[in-house]
Structure 1
Amino acid sequence: MKQFIGLEAQATYAEAKTIILPIPYEKTTTYRQGCQHGPLAILEASDQLEAYDEEIEVQTCIKTGIYTHEAIADTTSDPSLTAEVMLQVTTETVAKLIADGKFVIALGGEHSITEGVVKAYRLAENEPFTVIQIDAHGDMRHEYEGSIYNHACVMRRVLDMGLPTLPIGIRSICQEEATLIKNQQIPVIWARDIYYHSDWIEKAIAKITTEKVFITIDLDGIDPSLIGGVGTPEPGGLNWYELTRFLKTVFTKYQVIGCDVMELAPQQDSVVSEFTAAKLVYKLIGYQGLSQGWYN
């Protein structure tokens, strides 16, 4: 089994603070397909990462302990897998990892997976938490193409759990989503706000009303000039330093209970998207280590 950042940096399950959970599920992509190959591409690209993070000045993988879980809900080996089964398996697996005290980063696969991940945390937590959504799209339709489990509906399912959300970098929505955002007063940070207002991070942070947060990252939230290997690219996304500055601020000010990174669809003849995604995962681990005092 492929390991995140290589075998030499792996901890045992018992030793590991962070668990990488690959979920190569894809059934409802509507434009460019291939995100079921995203988790493996991220794991393979992670071999090229430097262990030392120059920003936080530590060899993150050595200090934190990383364990790569076996893949679950894999449509590359079982194309008949239904969304209902995927969500059940995802929730059960993540729930066990939470019970074992692990910090989980799930790797997709399509964004519909996030419902199962968040549900596990909703069942485990005694209080609401905010789901920070980095994304190009609202993903708040009630249903799409005949399914409430479509990737375009995932944040609607999160809202149905009674959880507050903070969408960041949104720049593509439908009329239904626009009405929902207005009626429920969802505090969207539009992509244009990021470009036109230098204080957007402070404004975003001020909208978080819970002590705990979960972070879901659809990679199309990042500008396609940096990550073009996604199913539905949209111009005008976040750049690397905007994204990492925001994430570091969130980890500093709030308790991040878990994360996911979704929708990488690898491109032929280019490794830029998967390497950037792998480095982003490594940043999430590093920022969690800082917030938890793992490097003291």
Structure 2
Amino acid sequence: MSEHGLFGWPRGDATSLGPGDVGVVGVPSDFGNAYVSGTRAGPEAIRRSSAAMPLRDVAGHDLGDVDVFDGADWAEIVERTGERVRRIAGQGAMPLVLGGDHAVSYAAVSALDRAGTFDIVWFDAHTDFCPWHGADWHNHKQVLRRIASLPHVGRLLVVGHRGITYFDESLQWPALEVVRPASPGHAPSIPSSWLEGERPVYVSIDIDVLDPCTAPGTGHPVPGGLDLDTLCSMVRSVARSRRIVGADVMEVNPLLDYEAMTSRAAAEVLSALVRARVPHSLPAIDGALA
């Protein structure tokens, strides 16, 4: 593991964090990836790429990785990830989660249940809204469907969807809105209604929202994605307009990458987010450190 944390931030634990800081946790999991393994190496690859872009003007600490060992079941991953996220939020800091497969986002979002109702901005080539086939089955293809059912989650915005997902239920979900990539002469943008309001937002970035020419190292690439400048601009617009209760970047697979293009892109997007974010002190979650 790298000596320094993400963006050169010091290693530490949740007690190192202050109100408005950023607390980083990695979740090296392939659990929700049904066909392609390798995302477990994503957190460390993103950290290595971020070393070239240190953030000295943003206060953050890297809490290291959740222990995801061979044979761990999904409930253990959710519990361990949730415990780290709650500790970060309990200090009034913003949790920033490095994946790992996209199913990990459920663990992070569900752990913020004491933060009040918040909306989700989901950057992804897919809607991840397939129905689940059983109470114990978790997969990155239906993670947003599970998140949408959490009582503390409000509206959902999917940005960059262009993949065909069979049995997708998202069109029947009234609180979900979809922004597709640009068509000729029309650049994509965040709807104005999502750039106002007092309700906090959780931002989740599946790196496959980018075009494979920019981010080849991911398990389910889809042609016609966003370019890096557009994604960074959209992320900045959300971070400058809404209070960010938490964020993540998922599905970076170094085994499929070329010259660290994808992990570097992930680090650049996260840099754009934390630099643009107004460092609100998030209300400490009662009992989060108990």
Alpha carbons of 1:195 and 1:145: their partners in 2 closer, same or farther (altered >3 Å)? Answer: farther
Q: Which residue of the other structure, out of 55, 62, 68, is the alignment partner of 1:68?
A: 62
Q: After the TM superposition, which residues 141-290 of structure 1 pair with which residues of structure 2 at under 5 Å, given as runs?
A: 141-143=130-132, 148-162=137-151, 163=153, 164-177=155-168, 179-184=169-174, 186-191=176-181, 194-196=182-184, 198=186, 200-202=188-190, 204-207=191-194, 211-266=199-254, 267=256, 270-288=259-277
Name the CA shift for 1:232/1:4 in 2 (closer, same or farther; >3 Å): same
User: What is the CA–CA distance in structure 2 between the aligned matches of 1:40 and 1:241, rounded to whole Å?
Assistant: 24
Instruction: Check 1:65–1:142 CA distance in 2 against 1; reply closer, same or farther (3 A cut).
Output: same
Local SS of the residue matching 2:192? helix
> Secondary structure of 2:85's match?
helix
Task: Give the structure 2 partner of residue 79 of structure 1.
Answer: 70
> Which runs of structure 2 are paired with 1:1-20 in the superposition (5 Å)?
1-2=1-2, 3-5=4-6, 9-10=9-10, 14=16, 17-20=21-24
Please state how far the C-alpha of 1:96 moved relative to its aligned partner: 1.1
In structure 2, relative to structure 1, the CA distance for the partners of 1:268 and 1:220 (3 Å cut) is closer
Task: Flag structure 2 segments of 5+ consecutive residues without an equivalent.
Answer: 282-290
Name whichever structure is richer in helix by fraction: 1
Shift of 1:85: 1.0
Q: 1:197-239: CA deviations, max 9, x gaps?
A: 636425x232576621000001011111101100111111111
Q: CA RMSD in A?
A: 2.5
Return the offset for 1:185.
5.8
**Structure 1: distance between partners of 2:43 and 2:173:** 36
Structure 1 residues 5 and 214: CA distance shift in structure 2, 3 A: closer
In structure 2, what is the Cα distance between the partners aligned to 1:269 and 1:189?
28
Conserved in 2, the CA contact under 8 Å of 1:73 and 1:81?
no
Contact in 1 for aligned 2:82/2:108 (Cα 8 Å): yes
Q: Secondary structure at the match of 1:40?
A: helix
Could you tell which deviates more after superposition, 213-222 or 275-284? 275-284
Cα distance change of structure 1 residues 12 and 171 upon mapping to structure 2, 3 Å threshold: same
Aligned residue in 1 for 2:88: 97
How many residues are matched?
A: 272
> Counterparts of 1:91 and 1:293 in 2: how far apart (Å)?
21
Q: Using the alignment, how far apart are the partners of 1:92 and 1:5 within structure 2?
A: 20
| SS in structure 2 at match of 1:225 | coil
* Paired-residue identity, %: 21
CA apart distance, 1:131: 0.6
Alignment map for 1:40-79 (pairs within 5 Å): 40-49=44-53, 51=54, 61-74=55-68, 78-79=69-70
What is the TM-score when the length of structure 1 is the normalising length? 0.83
Identify the residue that residue 56 of structure 1 maps to in structure 2: none
The code of the aligned residue for 1:63 comes to D
Match of 1:55 in 2: none
Aligned 8 A contact 1:205 1:250 in 2: no
Q: Name the amino acid aligned to 2:30.
A: E
1:21 aligns with 2:25: yes
Deviation at 1:279, TM superposition (A): 1.8
Deviations 1:19-69 (A, max 9, x none): 1111101123234320000001111112222x3xxxxxxxxx222222111
Q: 108-117 or 162-171: which moved more?
A: 162-171
Counterpart code for 1:190: R
Q: Distance in 2 between matches of 1:131 and 1:232?
A: 22
- Provide Cα deviations, 1:117-138, integer angstroms capped at 9, x if missing partner: 00122x2222x21110000111
- TM-score, normalising length: structure 2: 0.85
Q: State the 1:278 CA deviation.
A: 1.6
Unaligned runs of 5+ in 1: 52-60
Deviates more, 1:256-265 or 1:239-248: 239-248
